[in-house]
Structure 1
């Protein structure tokens, strides 16, 4: 029986070689690296990275595709909110008290380890070695142990602190780097030490009323934001995947809580998703089942149409970016890992050499955020919609005696009035019962000076709560929110692993098969030789491409043309144009395609048009080969 979570596909990436290529080509590098290498440096730069030129370009191109796919196509309202957030906002949202992971400490070395990752990594390593008979001083793992480990791994996200502590004790889980025992898990807050929230959502929620006005009061609608975020990572050890500063793109789709249908659902309903739902994980299964989105919504595997719609749109985006569909799954959150605000949540996970990595979270946040911020500030975050016909309703109404409240509460009277206006019907009913029973109702009021709350006793002479019947012509409700949240850096890294390969005849020749739309540079222009007449032609052609909006570089170095192409294959440049002596005679140039290394020849106008069509995705390479002359018989290495 083979382990199910401790192995990758047969084409597993050699991470050390792969990341060496990325660092050599300056996709990314450790931040403050020269200081880290200094003997007197005492800082901690783990989880902090700088993107180099190709990394910056790739990141920007991913964001451009994301913005086109969502913001433009869905007509979303994009905002750019400050990353510096008052502590009380994070306190109200629940992140300070509830946004935590379980941490273990190696008491000898002093390392802090995330408990679930510690258990997961140790058991995966045991499976990897034990099923191959490689465990030191131990026979191969028996079937029962393999099944037990796989069951734990399948449910790892559902263990709380006590459950993780029991696993660590029962299976003698130790720090794999030191073999030291670790202390029992304790909660570690990911937000408290940060200047900003772990996402861009709160700024969008706090601007809800203004955004609703921007949309002419029409529901449903969505806002979107892209920005830097920060987390106090326990142990940032997985390169670009677990970092302390990262780029996040988030959507908040506001929808009627009583009607979560989506008008464009039919566009994605037939798409098939690889789903690993909660029940499958609890039963120890790790292989997703494929269902259409329509089937998943109708069977309540996915909670509602709008959530299903966005899962489909996430799938289409990831495929458009070039993600390998065989290394993609959607995993539903287990009960113990569900965020405090979530009603249902699915992660788009991508398979890498680090295992399955959460890259996109898609949650139904219900009305949690708008409700808590409304209650704390007294600002009503509600939608008012005209009813087709008037309806009679019985409702509680609170009236503050302003003549007495003003002299008694002075500048706080307005705050009290605002807090009363924001109360919902159940709260008003409770306060009415208090007023009847004791003659005084206790109101919780935010103190705007420092963001805390206080309670204010309101006797009968100040407060009247009555129940009356009135004719309702509008319906008032607090919207639910569907939130797709994209970790752009994680998507970037996973994508690079998925498109990385090496030439079969030369393992040292690495290739990144990035889609043309994402490639940092679209075209490499090379003069065949150092002939003085060729280089100016190459620069002229590159300038023409850039004027057409196509990123291009000229490599007129003394290296052979094969080597020049090879080093640009490493950064994912999809096309190469060679200026040679035939160019001097008739103006024609060759166009090379990165993956196949096939070249075609045509006039400069033809080749520039072909490149533009290829980059824009309106023509395929096969189509270009069909209309331009294919160059045969000469290898790149011979063109030196």
Structure 2
């Protein structure tokens, strides 16, 4: 329901009634009535469109479940909310999306791909901030203990109230509209106040609700049989790339910029999963961490995407309640709408990735984070949002996270995660090294003498100066051992400093990171909706469902039929299928006696882009295009190469149509003809 439009209808209706009660001039009343009628027409159109969208979603979901694209996990045991299994066509689409992602990003940009464990020690996620801040606000049924996400409880109550009471006073409607618009910004106290103000009860039992409180979304699990090491199932894949930065930098020859990539499962213990595949508890992420020098965030390949034009939704447009803008990417970066070239480059590459998959470019936008959404350390953040029946859904996050992640892990682990750059001119610098009094250290620390000496050797020049200064002023200073987590007290006279001068031609710095993060499941669901279509059957009565998957993501590339059940035709169909599989193509063979039209319809419904019909034992076969239903005649010896080229995108259907003669109806492979 459009809350703003509904409120406008109520306000205008109140105005008309007030004018009539005041015996206002007929002309003034008529004008107000005209405005009211126009608003009602607009509201009716909005409601009809909303119902149509809901019906569309149900139709798509029914087809996806019936053809086993996905199914609720552990269904025979009642299922678990937020967990789904991909069936054969669904898992094939997912594999193809990930394969294309690997080719489009990892191969094209020469990224360093890693594969890290899902189990993550608490120390890592403590440093990243997930242990303390990765939370949603939750409320509980005070009697039964059932848990609900607090903002969802308020949102559902308000929407339900608006739908049930169209005659609600305008002031109350406006209050509800403001609440819906502000939910994401509410604190726990503000959400609790709204729950009390509206008298909201537990959705299932109607019992009272607790005060909202933060709930950490990570799945906790002890590591090891004794349970002494606390761990979590990772909520993202990024941390494995950050903690391996030094090794990756060394592997890359010590040079920046470079990117790391990882694809894998992530886990979030959603309080109340909803929206099907869009919000789940276990999901696949594909993430890139591109490390750059913070003083130079240019990208050598930015020119390859600079001329792309697509919808950007900058912060200024959102604040002014204006529509997204269609902008040339190069201009957006030049005008600092997008902060830098590397972030702009990955926005452009993401646009190409999504639209090649089959996402409608008119229903794709890149929305910049508002000031209250931005982390304090971030330089710029954008979301690739795709419109589907649930509204605009964030499917890819693209952020310039500055140096926050590497600095956080450096501090927590006492390990330098830095790169170096050449200085314009060499400079003379002083370096300080510790000079230990081994005799005094040995007398004082005995068995720990070696450990103390090793810890002193690891001190940086700045730390040596700081320690000696403390010894002079306070007579003692702490010394921490990273390997044993012990802290020793060093006394005055145990350590002095030695200064050396050296020429320095390089300086160390902590790189910034540009992070594109792809929610693969969300992209796939939006792809299902964007590729779904219907058309009339041969009898002009039945509606046939089909998916217009591009060949690159289609679960099966080609179906192979024999027109009639005939030993010779069946054998040739099987032979062609074998050759196609040897070429690496997923093929579905159907030599049953059903009508060719029904077989086409069944394969169209899972999105198979091409069909080969064997209607003669010599001379060639018929190749059909799913979307246009056009057919061409192709020699048997050329059909494997043609289908390989079409499936890989090396050729388009129009190229094949120009290269081979069209099928004529006399060949009896028309979709409205039955087998003889």
TM range (shorter): 0.7 to 0.9
Higher helix residue share: 2
1:262–1:306 contact (8 Å) kept in structure 2:
yes
Alignment partners' CA distance in 1, 2:67 and 2:513: 41
Alignment partners' CA distance in 1, 2:530 and 2:626: 16
Q: Does 1:566 align with 2:608?
A: no
Q: Does 1:382 align with 2:414?
A: no
Q: CA deviation at 1:156?
A: 4.3
Which residue number in structure 2 is paired with residue 472 of structure 1? 504
Alignment partners' CA distance in 1, 2:268 and 2:435: 44
Q: CA deviation at 1:63?
A: 0.7
Which residue number in structure 1 is paired with residue 77 of structure 2? 35
Corresponding residue to 1:595 among 596, 620, 627: 627
Corresponding residue to 1:86 among 111, 116, 121: 121
Which residue number in structure 1 is paired with residue 578 of structure 2? 543
Tell me how large the CA RMSD over aligned residues is.
3.3
Q: CA deviation at 1:507?
A: 6.1
Alignment partners' CA distance in 1, 2:599 and 2:514: 48
| Bigger shift: residues 589-598 or 397-406 | 397-406
Which residue number in structure 1 is paired with residue 215 of structure 2? 188
- Higher relative contact order (CA closer than 8 Å, sequence separation 6+): 1
Which residue number in structure 2 is paired with residue 264 of structure 1? 301
1:154–1:286 contact (8 Å) kept in structure 2:
no
Corresponding residue to 1:358 among 390, 394, 414: 394
Change (3 A) 1:256 1:4: farther
Q: How big is each residue's C-alpha offset from its partner over 1:106-126, in whole Å with a ceiling of 9 and x where there is no partner?
A: 446644333334444555566
Alignment partners' CA distance in 2, 1:465 and 1:121: 67
Change (3 A) 1:396 1:102: farther
Which residue number in structure 1 is paired with residue 272 of structure 2? 235
Q: Does 1:139 align with 2:175?
A: no
Q: Does 1:15 align with 2:91?
A: no
1:3–1:146 contact (8 Å) kept in structure 2:
yes
| Bigger shift: residues 530-539 or 514-523 | 530-539
Alignment partners' CA distance in 2, 1:569 and 1:405: 80
Secondary structure at 1:294 match in 2: helix
Alignment partners' CA distance in 1, 2:101 and 2:339: 25
1:96–1:192 contact (8 Å) kept in structure 2:
no
Alignment partners' CA distance in 2, 1:587 and 1:414: 85
1:396–1:428 contact (8 Å) kept in structure 2:
no
Which residue number in structure 1 is paired with residue 661 of structure 2? 629
Alignment partners' CA distance in 2, 1:520 and 1:346: 31
Alignment partners' CA distance in 1, 2:406 and 2:534: 50
Alignment partners' CA distance in 2, 1:235 and 1:432: 56
Alignment partners' CA distance in 1, 2:167 and 2:458: 68
Q: How big is each residue's C-alpha offset from its partner over 1:487-527, in whole Å with a ceiling of 9 and x where there is no partner?
A: 11111111111111211455642111111011110001011
Q: How big is each residue's C-alpha offset from its partner over 1:548-584, in whole Å with a ceiling of 9 and x where there is no partner?
A: 222111012232221111111111100111111xx22
Secondary structure at 1:613 match in 2: helix
Corresponding residue to 2:189 among 151, 162, 169: 162
Alignment partners' CA distance in 2, 1:320 and 1:414: 59
| Greater C-alpha radius of gyration | 2
Corresponding residue to 2:563 among 508, 528, 539: 528
Alignment partners' CA distance in 2, 1:308 and 1:151: 34
- Unaligned 5+ segments in structure 1 are 37-43
Alignment partners' CA distance in 1, 2:54 and 2:464: 60
1:160–1:336 contact (8 Å) kept in structure 2:
no
Which residue number in structure 2 is paired with residue 203 of structure 1? 240
TM-score when scaled to structure 1? 0.86
Change (3 A) 1:419 1:244: farther
Which residue number in structure 1 is paired with residue 459 of structure 2? 420
Corresponding residue to 1:115 among 136, 150, 156: 150
Alignment partners' CA distance in 2, 1:206 and 1:152: 41
1:98–1:340 contact (8 Å) kept in structure 2:
no
- Unaligned 5+ segments in structure 2 are 6-45, 222-231
Q: Does 1:613 align with 2:645?
A: yes
Which residue number in structure 1 is paired with residue 340 of structure 2? 304
Q: How big is each residue's C-alpha offset from its partner over 1:248-292, in whole Å with a ceiling of 9 and x where there is no partner?
A: 111111111122122222222232342334454455x37423333
Q: CA deviation at 1:81?
A: 1.1
Length, aligned pairs only: 613
Change (3 A) 1:141 1:303: farther
Which residue number in structure 2 is paired with residue 39 of structure 1? none
Secondary structure at 1:631 match in 2: coil
2:452–2:488 contact (8 Å) kept in structure 1:
no
Q: CA deviation at 1:378?
A: 2.4
Corresponding residue to 1:66 among 101, 107, 114: 101
Change (3 A) 1:64 1:392: same
1:240–1:493 contact (8 Å) kept in structure 2:
yes
1:13–1:353 contact (8 Å) kept in structure 2:
no
Q: CA deviation at 1:460?
A: 4.2
Change (3 A) 1:137 1:253: closer
1:516–1:574 contact (8 Å) kept in structure 2:
yes
Q: CA deviation at 1:631?
A: 2.8
Which residue number in structure 2 is paired with residue 274 of structure 1? 311
Q: How big is each residue's C-alpha offset from its partner over 1:398-434, in whole Å with a ceiling of 9 and x where there is no partner?
A: 636373556634464367447733x9x6x88877775
Alignment partners' CA distance in 2, 1:219 and 1:160: 41
2:437–2:493 contact (8 Å) kept in structure 1:
no
Secondary structure at 1:113 match in 2: strand
Q: Does 1:511 align with 2:552?
A: no
Q: CA deviation at 1:240?
A: 1.5
Alignment partners' CA distance in 1, 2:465 and 2:379: 26
1:229–1:248 contact (8 Å) kept in structure 2:
yes
Alignment partners' CA distance in 2, 1:524 and 1:414: 72
1:157–1:337 contact (8 Å) kept in structure 2:
no
Change (3 A) 1:387 1:137: closer
Secondary structure at 2:637 match in 1: helix
Which residue number in structure 2 is paired with residue 40 of structure 1? none
1:29–1:51 contact (8 Å) kept in structure 2:
yes
Q: CA deviation at 1:535?
A: 1.1
Change (3 A) 1:498 1:412: farther
